[in-house]
Amino acid sequence: MISAVEIEHKLWQIIDVLREKYALGESVDCALKLLLFKRLSDQSCIEERTRLSVPEEARWSVIQRKRRDLAQKLSEALTVIEETNSNLRGVFTNSEINFWTRFDDEILLRIIKLFSELDLSNENFGDLNELGKAGENFIEKSAYLEGIAGIYTPRQLTQMMVELINVQQETSIYDPACGSGEFLVEAVKFINKIGRNLSQVNIHGQNTDIHKYATAKTNLILHGIDNPHILIGNAILEPCFVEDSKPRLFDVVLSNPPFHLKYLPMDLMHVNYPSRFSYGVPSNGIGDFLFIQHILSSLNNTGKAAVLLPRGVLFREGDEGEIRRRIIEADLIEAVIELAPKLFYYTSIPVVIVIFNRRKSNKNKILFIDASREYEAGKGHNLLHCKHIDHIVSTYRSFSDEEGFAKLGTIGEIADNKYNLSVNCYVIPPANKKIDLTWEVSKLHQLEAERSELETKIDDYLRALGIKL
């Protein structure tokens, strides 16, 4: 029986071959595309009526016999597969450039030989989840190696947010900035774990990047979702999912939208469906509250969302403060969870989880959770373990006070605090609690590092303006 470890090992063997000549990013794309091609081809050989089928003339065995012009033959075979399966369009090929011409015959022969050692048909898996696990691990590790893990949501966070929402079957799930599909994959795994039927789950995601689009689709297909609805476009400027001439509504939104993304006034002048931003448009152009409002406009009347956001959305004033006030008074925020620092690779930016709910059972109340000390220090970044996740999730589900950790705040109290949602305004450590000196020193060092980084950036900007320092 094939295991995730065995598939991962093969993928990294292929990366070792490719990186002799090619950048890591395009090597990872190549390996993932070929893994999916091999999987679909092997399964089509033993089961003719698969939802994603590979015609005989485009199967792996045909490519395996070729010795010359492999890039062209691969491109032709994969184009046939995309034409046969409309939901695979853009996963293997790109209409603007032939991806496969980047790779020469010698390299392709070597990696095709390596993949040919695996038979990825169902009968060779004791547990089909191993296939998705291998792909997911490979994507996460390669993001770390590429140095882009700062925008890849760590699995510990996606797992916790899915548990907070408690995703069920017969659910439509949406991520307007789905990246590699981390949240959508975790939702699928959660539904599998609780023994529900995946065939009734509708998965939707939007990406601005065609490479991430292909990666997200591949990730989901390897996890058993044959028809994930992933589309390309900017969710703020051009929402892709529309129904009855307005943005489509979903049961659940899970997302880590890009932080502090700037939108110029001229960008927003011709935005589609401007009614989404009824709470206001920040004059500073920062997109955090635009994403929040897009997410709110994408929830149906019983919908819930868990969103990772920069801590600044809780307290920034001006236009953003006014937008926040309106959302609070509309009673759409259910919980605010302060997280530990450095949970992402390569960045120490403080983040929070905000849970929005259109059908709150606790009206006019918001639960504040201070989970800033729920972590274990790790190399390069901090870790959330099961005990930390369980504590946070169980506290949210109980929706009650816990001294030094959680506090229910009323809309009136929040108004008295000028609509500031900073968790430390509400959750006060008990007076007799000992100070964790190690944690406080670590936090001081983190703040000093952030200050140094900001000072370096400011110096760079000043030099670029010709100002001598």
Q: Where are the domains of the chain?
A: 4-141, 148-425, 437-469
What's the rounded mean pLDDT across residues 238-244?
Answer: 94
**What's the alpha-carbon Rg for the chain, to the nearest Å?**
24
| 3-state percent helix, strand, coil for the chain, nearest multiple of 5 | 50, 15, 40
Distance of alpha carbon 346 from alpha carbon 145, whole angstroms:
11
Does residue 249 have a pLDDT over 60? yes
Does residue 388 have a pLDDT over 70? yes
Structure-block tokens of residue 370: 């201070």
Residue 286 DSSP symbol: B
Query: How many beta carbons lie within 10 A of that of residue 183, not counting itself?
Result: 31
How many CA atoms, within 13 angstroms, populate the side-chain half-sphere of residue 319? Answer: 14
Backbone angles phi, psi at 299, to 5 degrees: -95, 135
Distance of alpha carbon 135 from alpha carbon 120, whole angstroms:
13
Class of domain 148-425: alpha beta
Structure-block tokens of residue 444: 């001081």
Distance of alpha carbon 237 from alpha carbon 263, whole angstroms:
9
Does residue 257 have a pLDDT over 90? yes
Does residue 449 have a pLDDT over 80? no
What's the rounded mean pLDDT across residues 142-152?
Answer: 73
The Cα angle at residue 401 between residues 398 and 405, in degrees rounded to 5: 100
Does residue 222 have a pLDDT over 50? yes
How does residue 469 score in pLDDT terms, banded at 50, 70 and 90? very low
Q: Checking DSSP bridges between strand 299-310 and strand 351-357, what pairing results, if any?
A: antiparallel
> Which residues make beta-bridge pairs with 383?
376
Distance of alpha carbon 334 from alpha carbon 215, whole angstroms:
32
Complete DSSP assignment for 36-99? HHHHHHHHHHH-TT-SS---GGGSHHHHHT--S-HHHHHHHHHHHHHHH-GGGTTTS--SSS-G
- The whole model's pTM is what? 0.88
What's the rounded mean pLDDT across residues 290-298?
Answer: 98
Distance of alpha carbon 331 from alpha carbon 105, whole angstroms:
60
| Per-residue pLDDT reduced to its tens digit, 187-214 | 999 998 888 888 788 999 999 988 899 9
| Per-residue pLDDT reduced to its tens digit, 39-93 | 999 998 877 656 788 999 999 999 999 989 999 999 999 999 999 999 999 999 9
Distance of alpha carbon 253 from alpha carbon 239, whole angstroms:
14
How high is the pLDDT of residue 266? 84
